[in-house]
């Protein structure tokens, strides 16, 4: 167990914001998580349950206690026919789990390759990319209840998953310390190639029927071409969620902007890429102070060097206002701002 006062969070957020917390506690087992919650008091408030910090923007020093999982381990806990149930410690790097699954022939996570962050956060955020979401593979989540120290198992249905949403972000906020996530994968590989430019990227390589490893590598290459390396330029990946609008609003915009990209959700709703709208507002590659919009993917806000969290928030709000004025659509941060 790690327990440090006045701890710098610079190494725990990919935006590269140098902020401190009053107390930092790290647990490496379920038992340590139980010991920690039993010791928490009023002076520890407010709590911040932190993963890899890849979906976090700090605007000031954190006045309370930050809790972080260092629980590791990846193992098969059950098999049923083609199904394989993979239990992973919440402190594992999520992409390491995807790599492990592909290497061992456990399929279903390929499209989530190279998403930054840790296993525990995958269950909180319902991370997603290229037509796949964590909820598609999460079977159940093990957690320690903060109020009681009780170990509970929460099913996929219990977690109330939606687009980048879960009960952990709302009514369960700070209620549980996630310790393990069990993913349900398959020994049968059924590639999902329809989203984004996966097919064209495969075609450029002369690949018609990709293996799981080939699909993973193509997605990694696509992401690396579009997204900046946080070690080079601080960022939290996609800063905004893609808005889902009614059919009427979509038809109105489609008439004004022929060829506007979109993804059909159902008969009544369409998803419009926020990055495209931000680009249409002229923000791609532009800066406001030391914060900017990435020059290859307008969905990503970046730290040009020495930016404060407040500067990134100012840029965020300015971009939101311009998108609202041009398209009549509100876009909201995917990133958690503190």
Q: Contact at 8 Å (CB) between 5 and 23?
A: yes
Q: What is the per-residue pLDDT across 295-311, written as a single tens digit (0 to 9) for each?
A: 999 999 999 999 999 99
CA angle 288, 336, 174 (to 5 degrees): 160
Distance CA 252, CA 274 (A): 17
3-class secondary-structure state, position 130: coil
| Mean pLDDT calculated for residue range 30-56 | 94
Domains of the chain (ranges plus CATH)? Answer: 2-69 (3.30.43.10), 74-186 (3.30.465.10), 240-337 (3.90.78.10)
The CA distances from residue 48 to 26, 91, 307, in Å, are 12, 15, 22
335: CB partners within 8 A, 6+ apart: 55, 56, 57, 236, 239
Residue 194 pLDDT:
85
Q: What is the per-residue pLDDT across 157-191, written as a single tens digit (0 to 9) for each?
A: 999 999 889 999 999 999 999 999 999 999 999 99
| Mean pLDDT calculated for residue range 187-214 | 92
Distance CA 245, CA 250 (A): 6
Kindly report the average pLDDT of the chain as a whole number. 95
The pLDDT-based confidence of 287 (bands split at 50, 70, 90) is very high
Q: What is the per-residue pLDDT across 51-102, written as a single tens digit (0 to 9) for each?
A: 999 989 999 999 999 999 999 999 999 999 999 999 999 999 999 999 999 9
pTM over 0.75: yes
Active site residue 334: yes
The pLDDT of residue 207 is above 90: yes
Token digits of residue 249 = 């609003």
Residue 226 pLDDT:
87
| Mean pLDDT calculated for residue range 239-267 | 95
* Choice among 92, 118, 133, 334 that is catalytic: 334
* Choice among 32, 166, 238, 311 that is catalytic: 238
Distance CA 126, CA 148 (A): 26
Q: Is the dihedral of CA 272, 274, 275, 281 positive or negative?
A: positive
| Mean pLDDT calculated for residue range 125-147 | 96
Parallel, antiparallel, or unpaired: how do β-strands 234-238 and 151-155 relate?
unpaired
Token digits of residue 47 = 């709590």
Cis previous bond, 249, omega within 30: no
* Choice among 164, 166, 184, 311 that is catalytic: 164
For the chain, the straight-line distance linking the first and the last C-alpha, in angstroms and rounded, comes to 25
Give the H or E element holding residue 33.
Answer: helix 30-39
Active site residue 90: no
171: CB partners within 8 A, 6+ apart: none
Active site residue 252: no
């Amino acid at each position: 167990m790690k327990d440090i006062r006045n701890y710098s969070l610079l190494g725990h957020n990919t935006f590269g914001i140098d902020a401190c917390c009053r107390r930092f506690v790290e647990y490496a087992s379920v038992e340590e998580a139980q010991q920690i919650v039993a010791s928490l008091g009023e002076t520890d408030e407010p709590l911040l349950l932190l993963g890899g910090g890849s979906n976090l923007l700090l605007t000031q020093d954190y006045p309370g206690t930050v809790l972080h999982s260092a629980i590791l381990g990846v193992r098969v806990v059950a098999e049923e026919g083609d199904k394989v149930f993979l239990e992973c410690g919440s402190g594992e790097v999520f992409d390491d789990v995807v790599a492990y699954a592909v290497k061992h022939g456990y399929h279903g996570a390929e499209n989530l390759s190279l998403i930054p962050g840790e296993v525990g956060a995958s269950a909180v955020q319902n991370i997603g990319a290229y037509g796949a979401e964590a909820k598609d593979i999460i079977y159940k989540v093990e957690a320690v209840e903060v109020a009681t120290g009780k170990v509970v198992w929460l099913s996929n249905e219990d977690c109330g998953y939606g687009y980048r949403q879960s009960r952990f972000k709302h009514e369960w906020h700070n209620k549980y310390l996630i310790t393990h996530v069990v993913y349900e994968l398959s020994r049968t590989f059924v590639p999902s190639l329809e989203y984004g430019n996966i097919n064209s990227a495969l075609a450029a390589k002369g690949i018609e029927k990709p293996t799981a490893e080939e699909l993973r590598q193509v997605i990694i290459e696509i992401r690396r071409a579009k997204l900046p390396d946080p070690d080079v330029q601080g960022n939290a990946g996609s800063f905004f969620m893609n808005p889902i609008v009614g059919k009427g609003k979509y038809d109105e915009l489609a008439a004004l902007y022929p060829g506007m990209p979109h993804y059909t959700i159902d008969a009544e709703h369409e998803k419009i890429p926020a990055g495209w709208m931000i680009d249409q507002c002229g923000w791609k590659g532009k800066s406001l102070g030391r914060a900017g919009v990435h020059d290859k993917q307008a969905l990503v806000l970046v730290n040009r060097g020495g930016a404060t969290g407040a500067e990134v928030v100012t840029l965020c709000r300015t971009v939101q206002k311009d998108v609202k004025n041009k398209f009549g659509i509100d876009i909201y941060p995917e990133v958690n701002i503190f």
